[in-house]
Each structure stands twice: as C-alpha cells, then as structure tokens.
C-alpha cells in the first residue's frame, strides 16, 4: 500500500478523522434510501479523487460494512497502485466474459471488509462499456457480495464516462481541489451532471488548509 492511505498509516490524524466525518455525512445523506452504489468523479484531472475515494473506502470498511471499490477509470486507473495490487483481471474482463461476471475477479485490499475490482485491460471504448446494459449487470453482481459499491470514474469535463455511468448509481460525489480547480469548471461539472439528472449528493473540496490540518471540506449539494 502507498502513503496515500493515511486512514491506515495514521488513523488518529485529523485528516483520517475528516474521512470518518465524510463517511458519517454520507450515511445520513438520504435516510429514505440506503446508499449502495456511489460514484466519485472530479471536475478535472489530478484533483485527488482516487486517493480520496481509497481512504473513504477504508473508513467505510472499518465501520463493518462490506465494501467493493471498483476502478472504473478505464483511461488512467490508479487504485491498483494505491493498494499495491497485481495487474490481474478486472472490470473489463467482467464486461466481456460471462464467467468473470458470475465470479467477479476481486482482490483483497489488505483491509478487512474491503475488496478491490481493478480496471483490467484498458479498452478503446470506455464510455460504451460504462454506459452499457452489461455494466448494470456487473453492478448487480457486485451488490450481491457487498453492502456498498464505490466507483472511481474519470473527470467529468474530460470525457463522458462519468456522465454515462452516473445514471446507474444511487449517488455521485464530486471532488474539486482548493486553489486548483477553477470555480467555473466546478460549476460546469456540476451542471453537466445535473443535466443528465445525476443525483449529486455532495461536493468534496480537497486540499483545504483548515484548522487542525483537515484535508478537505464536504458540502451537500442542493
């Protein structure tokens, strides 16, 4: 595992506590419907979405829930590197192989209750795969083995992948980086998701230098 997983390397830190607060906020985001599939994306590249999601996955697993973290960024996948996993079969294998879909090629993360589905071989048509009926079947198969499925998707403004996948999940969490993401780009990303009726349940502002060293700020989306 890399130093990116501060929830493991320094679980008593203010940053790790901030992730636990985010976990609690998500649990109360909608009391009428259990959040079982959550997509995390960002406005642009290199805004920390993958690291944020990896740490969130750890904290949810630490609460006792069975978590499957899916690297659905089929352009620049990073979850394999964050958790130090092998370059084995993954999401794209489930998309093209019925046997893999029946028995998902999950890898143990080293964290109890947390399994990871890596990207698999990168395809020439990521958006087509993520928006397909087969992707819906993949999610259904993963939900049979977990309490919650977390999906890491590419940036909204770069490609259409996150947009097409957002219609298949219970909620979307948008990550922006303080001091890096332009306000107009953040608004564009939110508007693009809302245009397709994606359910944005919140925004995580990364790299906020708050009191006690908290690394992000979470706000519910109206």
Q: How confident is the model at residue 218 (pLDDT cuts 50, 70, 90)?
A: low
pLDDT beyond 90 at 194: no
Among candidates 67, 89, 90, 93, which has minimal Cα distance to 149?
A: 67
The answer to whether residues 94 and 104 touch, using CB atoms and an 8 Å cutoff, is: yes
Domain contains 37? yes
Rounded to whole angstroms, the Cα distance separating 201 from 206 reads 16
Task: Record the tokens describing residue 190, joined without a space.
Answer: 């939110």
Q: Which residue has the higher pLDDT, 174 or 211?
A: 174
Output the pLDDT for position 195: 86
Domain contains 1? no
CB neighbour list of residue 188: distance below 8 Å, 6 or more residues apart = 43, 157
Residue range 13-34: mean pLDDT, rounded? 86
The answer to whether residues 13 and 6 touch, using CB atoms and an 8 Å cutoff, is: yes
Domain contains 103? yes
Burial of 157 (0-12, 13-18, 19+ CB in 10 A): middle
Domain contains 98? yes
Write the CATH number for 197. 3.40.50.300
Output the pLDDT for position 172: 95
Lowest mean pLDDT among 81-90, 111-120, 174-183, 192-201: 174-183
Domain contains 44? yes
Rounded to whole angstroms, the Cα distance separating 31 from 73 reads 29
Residue range 198-221: mean pLDDT, rounded? 65
**Domain encompassing residue 193:** 6-219
Whole-number mean pLDDT of the chain? 89
Q: What is the pLDDT of residues 88-131, one digit of tens each?
A: 899 999 999 999 999 999 999 999 999 999 999 999 999 999 99
Q: What is the pLDDT of residues 72-86, one digit of tens each?
A: 999 999 999 999 999
Rounded to whole angstroms, the Cα distance separating 16 from 71 reads 22
Percent of the chain beyond pLDDT 70? 90
Domain contains 38? yes
Output the pLDDT for position 213: 40
Residue range 14-43: mean pLDDT, rounded? 88
Q: How many domains does the chain have?
A: 1
Output the pLDDT for position 212: 43
Q: Which residue has the higher pLDDT, 2 or 198?
A: 198
């Amino acid at each position: 595992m890399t130093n990116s997983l501060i929830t493991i390397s320094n679980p008593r830190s203010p940053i790790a506590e901030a992730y636990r607060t985010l976990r609690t906020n998500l649990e109360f985001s909608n009391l009428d419907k259990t959040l079982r599939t959550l997509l995390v994306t960002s406005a642009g590249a290199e805004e920390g979405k993958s690291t944020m999601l990896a740490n969130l996955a750890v904290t949810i697993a630490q609460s006792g829930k069975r978590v499957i973290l899916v690297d659905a960024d089929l352009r620049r996948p990073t979850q394999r590197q964050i958790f130090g996993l092998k370059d084995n079969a993954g999401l794209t294998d489930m998309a093209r192989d019925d046997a893999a879909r029946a028995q998902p090629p999950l890898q143990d993360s080293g964290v109890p209750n947390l399994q990871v589905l890596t990207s698999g071989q990168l395809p020439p048509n990521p958006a087509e795969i993520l928006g397909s009926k087969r992707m819906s079947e993949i999610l259904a198969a993963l939900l049979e083995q977990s309490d919650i499925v977390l999906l890491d998707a590419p940036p909204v403004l770069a490609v259409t992948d996150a947009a097409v996948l957002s219609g298949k999940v219970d909620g979307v969490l948008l990550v922006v980086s303080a001091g890096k993401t332009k306000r107009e780009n953040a608004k564009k990303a939110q508007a693009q998701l809302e245009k397709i009726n994606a359910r944005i349940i919140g925004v995580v502002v990364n790299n906020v230098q708050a009191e006690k060293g908290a690394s992000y700020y979470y706000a519910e989306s109206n």
